[in-house]
Amino acid sequence: MSLLGCLAGLFSSPPPYLSLNEAQALPLNEFVNRSVESAPHFVSNPAESQSLVQIYQRHLQGQADLRSVTAGLFQTAQNVATTDADRQRLQWVHMLMDSTMNQVANLSQGPQYQQQPPMGGGGNANDHSSQQPPRKSNNNNNNNSHKKQGQQSFAAVVGQGHSQGTTEFHPAPTMAPATSGIKMATYFFPSEPNFKILLNTLNSARNSLDVCVFSLTDDDLANALIAAKKRGVQVRLISDDDQCSTLGSDVQRLGNDHGIPTRVDNNPSHMHHKFAIVDNQTLISGSYNWTKAARKSNRENIMITDSPDAVNGFRQEFNRLWQEYS
């Protein structure tokens, strides 16, 4: 019970009540949401708290990846936190819990783990330039339609968003084994908790932030680059020339109004990457365009890792494109 008790003490908003009968009927995702929100009602009642713990333990019996469940708990708690200080405390507790679980895995399961194979490095292993994926003809309103055809306005992109009555429970499992020393986590969208993790990762930049993204129309992400520039972080941005000229794109504004060095491809093919490198130590990469549609509507993914091979491979690609588009 110590975890929920610790989290409950951080929140000040009036909590809803969760009865034991209700709790028994809820699936895990909803039980987590409701119990975290209702914690101030029951944490001071040992009997009720223990009953809810038993319900939670029954849920855990069917879960193979407890690290994912823990990540989901913290994401839910961050969603109901009322201040930035609360969220930062939760983020720190999550880091401590993750470190503890790594240590436990090291002791109890370390011998069966195998280190992840290198990613990227010199780039040969990941060089798919000769592979041409089949083009999919469609009439949807995603940003990544064929170049110069059906470019979508920012208003249309924003209009695709939908509100969510409850927190989507998208846990982020750590994919790399603990003994490898490499951290790797996957996040799926739409999910506001996972968007906050993306935003927090960008906000963690202290020295450098290199962003290479096909489309950038989400003002919250653009503002993260502006804030990093104001903190003295060296920010560089690469984007697609057609996308940066569409209505709602933040690319030109970031360069012209905020002095962020920006380069675009200026050729008939797409600059279709979506990745960012934080402080030359952390890589963010996946299908996720930096748009409201990706955040709130589309099925998207990102991976965040500190793998030196992956970071080095993407850093080489960024620097190659930076020179090519000069």
User: 46-60 and 28-42 helices cross at what angle (nearest 10)?
Assistant: 170
Q: Which of 41, 147, 272, 306 is catalytic?
A: 272
Q: Given CA atoms 234, 238, 244, 248 in this order, what sign does their dihedral have? A: negative
**With 0-12 CB in 10 A as exposed, 13-18 as middle and 19+ as buried, what is 293?**
buried
CA angle 81, 32, 296 (to 5 degrees): 65
DSSP structural state of residue 107: H
Residue 38 CB-half CA count within 13 A = 18
Residue 323: half-sphere exposure toward Cβ, Cα within 13 Å:
5
Residue carrying structure tokens 């491809």: 265
Residue 146 designated active-site: no
Residue 279 catalytic? Answer: yes
Question: Looking at 220, 241, 279, 306, which residue is catalytic?
Answer: 279
DSSP codes, 236-272: EEEE-HHHHTSTT--HHHHHHHH---EEE--SSS---
d(CA 174, CA 165): 27
Spot the catalytic one: 170, 229, 274, 296: 274
Angle at Cα 48 formed by Cα 40 and Cα 44, nearest 5°? 40
Q: Which two tokens stand for residue 235?
A: 């920010």
Looking from the CA of 75 toward its CB, the CA atoms found within 13 Å total 25
Angle between helices 84-109 and 66-80 (to 10 degrees): 170
272 is catalytic: yes
Tokens 């895990």 correspond to 28
- Residues classed as catalytic: 272, 274, 279
